[in-house]
Structure 1
Amino acid sequence: MIETPGFPLTLLAFIAMIGPLVFVHEMGHYLAGRWFGIGADAFSIGFGREIAGFTDRHGTRWKFGWLPLGGYVRFAGDMNPASQPSAEWLALPAAERARTFQSKPVWQRAIVVAAGPVVNFLVAILILAGFAHFYGTRHAPATVGSVVGGSPAAKAGLREGDRLLTLGGRSVDDFAGIAEYAMLRPGETIRVTGERASRPIATTLTIGTVEQRDRFGNVYRIGRVGIGSPPVEYRPVSLLRAPVEGTIQVVAIVRGSLDALGQIFTGRRSVDELGGPLRIAKISGEQMTLGWPAFIGLIALVSINLGFINLLPVPMLDGGHLFFYAIEAIRRRPVEPHVQEWAFRGGLAAILALMLLVTFNDLGQLGLWRNLAGLIG
């Protein structure tokens, strides 16, 4: 275990990661809006009181807020959280109203809203494509290289040389897919199918649970089946192929996020594993001490999760707006304003509750509750 980075480095790493990611996310919204002729009143990185900024020739106020935990673009006419037409909007002159967000057809509004998360995914694809091009990609077939005695794989009857085809009904193409599937499912009992000497095999396996502690003292609970990898081959990736490899990795990470979210909702994974800004800040500082490749890799991962979370169909998030736009497209008229208003109030309450939960978890991860218990005891 090495010394945890101090507060200044942690804060610097957090701002260096979150600031650019929020900027490109909001820039996606902004550029899509400008493409469709929508004016922007403000572009903010951070919330709260403005600490610096300027106004450009288009009348957009570019500014920094004192709380660097997000950002926003406020389009012309965007006078309420649900972006509903209002009496104030209807009172605008016709020429000015034509440049507002609400005046645009639903498909254009949907593109503007989706552009932020899409840019986050594109950033991650570019980073992972760069890693694939400069470092190559790791390849190993979905074959059992060795079996650890007494492990879940040994108890399930797997043998060296078995080729695995599906785990829990999901097909696996390489050894990394086996490890990724098991890692997210400690303690689960799954059906395994495969081939042994060209003959089909099927068995039931209960994934083992392992607690790992990294060099910074963080403890992680992961799943293991107890098999070793076959010989690994590192393959170079051409510049043209690299974006494809980056996209494949992003899709795999999003699928893992969906799996983890589903496990939390079904109770198979504890909500204690949810982390927020404090935990992200802690990890960003740790990764920066490991070098730029580790830190840039974390940026890609956070960018994917930022895009993924914003696409969840929760009012107040981009996905919530897209959900209402989908209903509007089907019904050929917007959802009633009072329904949207109550939905967005509920979404805000849910987001605030989630923020309280993850902050509580983060403080526990940082050892606050343990230290308080020690003081009280």
Structure 2
Amino acid sequence: MTEFFHHIFNTLSGGLLAYIIPFLFVLTIVVFFHELGHFLVARWAGVKVLTFSLGFGPELIGFNDRHNTRWKISAIPLGGYVKFFGDESEASTPSSEAIAKMSAEERAGSFHHKTVGQRAAIVAAGPIANFILAVIIFAGMALYYGKPNTTPRVDAVQPDSVAAAAGFKTGDVIAAIDGRAIETFGDMQRIVSVNAGTELTFLIKRDGSEITLKATPALQERKDSFGNSHRIGVLGIQYNAKPDESRSVPVGFFESIKFGVEQVWFIIGTTFKFIASLLSGTGNAGELGGTIRIAQLSGQAASLGFQVLVNWCAMISVSIGLLNLFPVPLLDGGHLLFYGVEAVRGRPLSERAQEMGFRIGLGLILMLLVFTTYNDILHIAGS
């Protein structure tokens, strides 16, 4: 047991700065844009914003703007919050005592006196801002660096593989998978990798004609260059890029936006596939990672270059936006759930019901935090 913790300590301490700086870079950008979404829509709705904080806990540095909003950086850099007038806490729970004593002028600037539609828009703006940020990053990277130019061509078929059994042949070009057009070999790899055990329909171009093949990617565990294990779906085909295919091709502005949207949509779809696999019992809950894993992967992404780190930032932005939309009290999705009930009932839930909801939400979040931290420790111990 002593050797176990000694190994973890050495692993963490050995790459501490290499992990922390990229992690803070990624988290700060993602959290800032998330909270900025809440802030901008709140200002648009006439809500008085008391605090815009990056991080939690004691303030390290800050200033007041002309609207008397306190912008600050706090000591615990694991998130952030926007606090509105009338809020009792950073989770935007209402202060009944403060609300009861408000004047008409104060009520006009109170978040909790806005219409249910305005409140829902303010809350939803955070996750939406995360999705927009990811689209901008992916589009910007495509605009600056170009898009991959690999052809979705089969240059070799491994014997006794899924592809061999399905009838793939050397020279085949994959035009579509389940009706989705395939432009590059990377597009094909991404779809296959997240569909282990799921039958896919391939539209193949072969000798001037089109044929349809069906194949179910096999689940395999592979390690990347950093030693991280990944369970992915594979067909058993190989691709050898020609010299002119190893370079990226430039794209225009609108094509880059389309590319950014497609990337975000793919991440969202992949996330829901993973959640569905966990619920059905076919997924591996050990793949769920937490703060430590994100920090480690941020450091690894940074070591591969700025482009990889920024793309990783976009992926984390999508994940955080999606996580916040889950209907769990304390998260944005939990607030939206309460507002949906309020819209149907014509009045908000009782304070007791909301308080119970927040307690349940806090319990669920803490359990998830403990579970993912446990997974992270096991992951580091096995690396």
Do they superpose with TM above 0.5?
Answer: yes
SS in 1 for 2:83: strand
The alpha carbon displacement at 1:170 in A equals 6.3
Query: Which residue number in structure 2 is paired with residue 121 of structure 1?
Result: 131
Query: Which residue number in structure 2 is paired with residue 301 of structure 1?
Result: 315
Q: Is the 8 A contact 1:117 1:307 kept in 2?
A: yes
The alpha carbon displacement at 1:59 in A equals 2.7
User: Hey, what's the Cα distance between the residues in 1 that align with 2:68 and 2:342?
Assistant: 31
Alignment deviations for residues 222-281 of structure 1 (CA, whole Å, 9 cap, x no partner): 211112348758542113432222112111121112212221222221111011111111
User: Hey, what's the Cα distance between the residues in 1 that align with 2:286 and 2:327?
Assistant: 22
Query: Which residue number in structure 1 is paired with residue 7 of structure 2?
Result: none
TM-score (norm 2): 0.86
Q: Is the 8 A contact 1:152 1:206 kept in 2?
A: yes
Query: Which residue number in structure 1 is paired with residue 6 of structure 2?
Result: none
The verdict on how the C-alpha distance between 1:104 and 1:183 changes in structure 2, with shifts beyond 3 A counting, is same
Alignment deviations for residues 22-81 of structure 1 (CA, whole Å, 9 cap, x no partner): 112111111111111101121111112223323334232222221111010110012254
Task: Write the mapping of 1:53-64 to structure 2, written as runs, cut at 5 A.
Answer: 53-64=62-73
SS in 2 for 1:268: coil
The alpha carbon displacement at 1:213 in A equals 2.2
Query: Which residue number in structure 1 is paired with residue 168 of structure 2?
Result: 158
SS in 2 for 1:45: strand
The alignment status of 1:259 with 2:269, answered yes or no, reads: no
* Aligned residue among 348, 351, 361 for 2:375: 361
Q: Is the 8 A contact 1:127 1:246 kept in 2?
A: yes
Task: Write the mapping of 1:130-209 to structure 2, written as runs, cut at 5 A.
Answer: 130-138=140-148, 144-160=154-170, 171-174=180-183, 175-186=185-196, 188-194=197-203, 198=209, 201-203=212-214, 205-209=215-219
Specify the code of the residue in structure 2 equivalent to 1:312: F
The alignment status of 1:31 with 2:31, answered yes or no, reads: no
The alpha carbon displacement at 1:199 in A equals 6.2
Q: Is the 8 A contact 2:86 2:94 kept in 1?
A: no
Q: Higher helix fraction: Structure 1 or Structure 2?
A: 2
Which range moves more in the overlay, 263-272 or 174-183? 174-183
Query: Which residue number in structure 2 is paired with residue 99 of structure 1?
Result: 109
The verdict on how the C-alpha distance between 1:12 and 1:230 changes in structure 2, with shifts beyond 3 A counting, is closer
The verdict on how the C-alpha distance between 1:139 and 1:106 changes in structure 2, with shifts beyond 3 A counting, is farther
Percent identity reads: 37
Which range moves more in the overlay, 7-16 or 352-361? 7-16
The alpha carbon displacement at 1:329 in A equals 2.5
The alignment status of 1:212 with 2:217, answered yes or no, reads: no
TM-score (norm 1): 0.87
Query: Which residue number in structure 2 is paired with residue 47 of structure 1?
Result: 56
The verdict on how the C-alpha distance between 1:253 and 1:71 changes in structure 2, with shifts beyond 3 A counting, is same
The alpha carbon displacement at 1:350 in A equals 0.5
The verdict on how the C-alpha distance between 1:123 and 1:339 changes in structure 2, with shifts beyond 3 A counting, is same
The alignment status of 1:22 with 2:31, answered yes or no, reads: yes
Q: Is the 8 A contact 1:165 1:173 kept in 2?
A: yes
User: Hey, what's the Cα distance between the residues in 1 that align with 2:173 and 2:286?
Assistant: 36
Specify the code of the residue in structure 1 equivalent to 2:230: Y
Q: Which runs of 5+ in 2 are unaligned?
A: 1-10
CA RMSD, aligned part only?
Answer: 2.7
Q: Is the 8 A contact 1:22 1:71 kept in 2?
A: yes
User: Hey, what's the Cα distance between the residues in 1 that align with 2:18 and 2:249?
Assistant: 35
SS in 1 for 2:253: coil
Q: Which runs of 5+ in 1 are unaligned?
A: 372-377
